[in-house]
Amino acid sequence: MSEAPAPPSESPIAQTTTTLARALAAAGILVGLAGFAGSFFENVALFKIHFGLWGMSASAAGGVLICGLTLFAEGFRNRVSVQRLAAIGGWALLAIAVFMATLHVVAATGGASPWVAGRPSGHPEGAAAPESLSSAACLAFLGLSLVTRRRAVFSEISGAAALMISSLSLLAALYGLDDPAAAPAVRSLALTGALALVMLSAATLLAHPGQGWGAVLISSGAGGASARRQLAFLPLPLIGGWVLLAASQAGLLRIEAAMALLVVLAIAPMVILVLRDGRSINALDDERASKAAVQFELQTSLEQRLRDQAAELAAASDERAKAEEELYRTHHMEAVGQLTGGIAHEFNNLLMAVSGNLQLMLRRLEDDSPARKYAVNALTAVDRGAKLTAQLLAFSRTQKLETRPVELDKALSHARDLVGNALGPSIEVRMALGAAGSWAMLDPTQLELAILNLALNAREAMPTGGTLTIGSEVVRRRLDGAAEPVNLLAVSVTDTGRGMTPAVAQRATEPFFTTKERGKGTGLGLAQVYGFVRQSGGDLTIRSAPGDGSTIELLFQPAAADESRGAATVAEASRAKAAGKSRRSMILVIDDDVDVRAVIADALRGAGYEVTEAEDGPSGLAALANIAPAAAIIDFVMPGMDGAEVGRRARVLHPNLPLIFVSGYFDTAALDAVPGATVLHKPVNLDGLQRAVSSVLA
């Protein structure tokens, strides 16, 4: 036979179980050998315990011997082929069982005499029992158990059936059920055969401790320990019952007392085991509940910690996203400021020269002059270039706003004509002003530019025409970072165009973001408006949906009542003083660009002022040492000495000298060091320049 692989290492309990199975098989072999030898040598003593009991037949002895040898050999399963051996032994047992059952049936039907029925056993007549159905059934079940080793469930059931039949026969023999009135199947089973079959049935169940009931017995868990304890008490009622029966037959006990004691012997161990197991189960339940409580507490604590950490991570992620967004905006502004700052001054000087000369030309041209149309077209182009430059310069980090109290509805009314001319006849402009008498803190020039930008964006959204509504109202809102809502002045620009998707509305204020085709939009218009509103201390909101138009709302801080009244009073006083001021005042113009300086000087002379020109800062300061002008107009960016330094030195020579700075560069924070100065951005409208001069002279 081929050698089977060695089994894995077994636990001490498994090894003990295997040893017990082999010992039981060995005992069965001895009983089978004795019975078989008795039959062969016709020695009754070898197959009968005493002459009052039946002896074991030769066929039963042969079956016991074969079963014992097979089970004993299974203990060496690392050396032999277990399945092949079990199959051979099992089929042999099934054959013997069929043979024994056939002889029993023949004898029971009268087909043969008792001597013939018993003769195949090899015993003398009257010494051996007829072939027993109990023996045949036990051997058949043992054979099935061996044949079905590959299917543990069937093998185990067959072994258990053999154990039940042999145990019943053993108890019958022990308790003296050998009289003629006993059941034939029980009466004819020899005591030696019953004992051998009990041992072999137990060996069959214990031969493979790693599976089935054997696995329960060798288990290290609570179930295995409980099973071993209960099996240890199993012999007690068996032995006790036999002793009590013998005592009652000897007249020492009445049968009633013996039965009562037998019941006590059967129940007492069961009660003890039940209570012990109950206590063990309660202890296990308590331990399990304690562990479950600890585990639940740990799980709850862990889940709470995870939720807290998730919330912290979400908050940190939101803060980081906001910081990154602000940093992104800041970088764009800085990049645009650095990119445009260097060329802004020269570009605006060119625009200033072109715009100023065009304005002077228009003043001298007749209304019906053919050249007037071309001059107006050129001036319109200059205005477009100035607006584009203003959009780019709006992202300078230190943009200076001329913030002052402004009557909101009045400023919006002035912007209506500008918006109407920019939109054309296909778009109707409506006013819905509801903030009469309310003053806002803002730069009026930047407000007009913001309204114009929003109107131009609305025109792009209404290519076939529509309605643009400019509104104002007093609202109560809470700005970012504010604890409570406050009163604010809202300016709204509403169109009936195609509207925006939520994704577009979310990014609409980003610099350079545009939905227009390449080359048809800078993506700076709405971003400039957002920067202006935020720098003014307000906020911008967008309400839009595809197909439902858009509403852009600008929120501004209201001016205090005393500031509003003061602004109105100062404006009236300035106009009155300007009307009475001498038109022959001396104005000093300091600018390094010859064309710009000439345009400003010609415009002022045309308005009736005397003008002294200087080409740079040192020249202007030298002139101030000899003259006392009524005001000084100074370019901000000049080589060698900037306008802020010139202004500070001019104030040393003339402390009350009104100063007007003209700059094509929005980064004019340095002018904050010169208090009371007026700042005009190039290209300057000549009428606006004259109004500024009149204002500072008032």
pLDDT at residue 580, rounded to an integer: 45
Q: Assess whether 666 and 631 both reside in one domain.
A: yes
What is the rounded radius of gyration, in angstroms, for the C-alpha atoms of the chain? 59
Residue after which a domain boundary falls, among 559, 578, 610: 559
Q: Assess whether 508 and 568 both reside in one domain.
A: no
Q: Assess whether 506 and 626 both reside in one domain.
A: no
Q: Assess whether 600 and 544 both reside in one domain.
A: no
CATH code for position 438: 3.30.565.10
User: In this structure, is residue 330 part of a structural domain?
Assistant: no
Q: Assess whether 591 and 545 both reside in one domain.
A: no
Alpha-carbon span 48 to 51, nearest angstrom: 7
404-407 and 439-442 strand pairing = antiparallel
Q: Which domain holds residue 607?
A: 563-697
97, 48, 369, 75: which is closest to 207 by C-alpha? 75
The DSSP code for 120 is G
Let me know: does 618 contact 640? Beta carbons within 8 Å.
yes
Q: Assess whether 534 and 599 both reside in one domain.
A: no
Q: Assess whether 497 and 640 both reside in one domain.
A: no
pLDDT at residue 128, rounded to an integer: 42
The DSSP line for 262-290 is HHHHHHHHHHHHHHHHHHHHHHHHHHHHH
Let me know: does 5 contact 78? Beta carbons within 8 Å.
yes
Let me know: does 661 contact 670? Beta carbons within 8 Å.
no
The number of CA neighbours under 13 Å toward the Cβ of 25 is 23
CA distances from 342 to 55, 352, 538, 664, 683 (A): 127, 17, 30, 10, 16
Let me know: does 141 contact 165? Beta carbons within 8 Å.
yes
Let me know: does 393 contact 399? Beta carbons within 8 Å.
yes
* Burial annotation 364-376 (CB, 10 A radius, 16+ → b, else e): ebeeeeeeeeebe
Alpha-carbon span 306 to 296, nearest angstrom: 15
Q: Assess whether 52 and 165 both reside in one domain.
A: yes
Q: Assess whether 546 and 635 both reside in one domain.
A: no
Rounded to two decimals, what is the model's pTM? 0.39
Q: Assess whether 569 and 553 both reside in one domain.
A: no
- What's CA 74's distance to the chain center, in Å? 58
pLDDT at residue 75, rounded to an integer: 64
Q: Assess whether 539 and 579 both reside in one domain.
A: no
User: In this structure, is residue 445 part of a structural domain?
Assistant: yes
pLDDT at residue 51, rounded to an integer: 37
Alpha-carbon span 462 to 496, nearest angstrom: 7
The total of structural domains in the chain comes to 3
pLDDT at residue 496, rounded to an integer: 92
Residue after which a domain boundary falls, among 559, 584, 604: 559
User: In this structure, is residue 634 part of a structural domain?
Assistant: yes
Q: Assess whether 476 and 619 both reside in one domain.
A: no
Residue 677 φ/ψ, nearest 5 degrees: -85, 150
pLDDT at residue 670, rounded to an integer: 65
* Burial annotation 228-266 (CB, 10 A radius, 16+ → b, else e): eebeeeeeebeebbeebbeebeeeebeeeebeebbeebe
pLDDT at residue 109, rounded to an integer: 60
Low-confidence ranges of the chain (pLDDT < 50): 1-9, 47, 49-54, 78-80, 111-129, 178-188, 395-398, 519, 566, 570-583
User: In this structure, is residue 453 part of a structural domain?
Assistant: yes
User: In this structure, is residue 124 part of a structural domain?
Assistant: yes
CA quadruple 129, 135, 137, 142: dihedral, nearest 10? -160
Residue after which a domain boundary falls, among 533, 559, 585: 559
